[in-house]
Amino acid sequence: MTATPAARLFFAPTPRSTRLGVLLACTLLSLATACSRVPELEDRLPADLRSQPYPDLLPLETALSDEPLPEDESAALSEALDARAEGLRRRAEELRRRQF
C-alpha cells in the first residue's frame, strides 16, 4: 500500500527541535497575552471605586437565601388566585339569584 505524497508529508516525522520550538512559541505567546492590559474592562470602574478593596468572598451556602423555588411560589399563588376567583364567582351567582 503506497501513501500519497500529501500523506507522506503530513505524517513525516518532525525533528525534536521543531516540536520544541513550536511548543516554546505557543508558551511565550500565551504568556504575552496573559500580561496585557484590557482597557475596555479596567476603564469602566469609576475613579472612587478604584482605590477600594475587593469585597469579602462568601461561601455559597451563606450567599444563597433559603427562599422557596419560583416554581413552588408560582404554584401556591396560582392556587390562591383560583380559589379567590371561585369564591367571587359563587358570590356573584348568589347576588344574581337574590334579585333585589
pLDDT 10s per residue in the chain (100 long)?
Answer: 566 665 655 555 667 777 788 888 888 888 877 666 666 666 777 878 878 888 888 888 777 777 778 888 899 999 999 999 999 999 999 999 987 6
Closest residue by Cα to residue 26 from 38, 14, 18, 15: 18
Report if residue 76 sits inside a domain.
yes
C-alpha atoms less than 13 angstroms from C-alpha of 31 in its C-beta half-sphere: 6
The pLDDT of residue 8 is: 59
Report if residue 79 sits inside a domain.
yes
The pLDDT of residue 90 is: 96
Report if residue 84 sits inside a domain.
yes
Domain count, the chain: 1
Report if residue 88 sits inside a domain.
yes
Report if residue 59 sits inside a domain.
no
pTM: 0.34
The pLDDT of residue 32 is: 77
- Diameter of the chain by CA atoms? 104
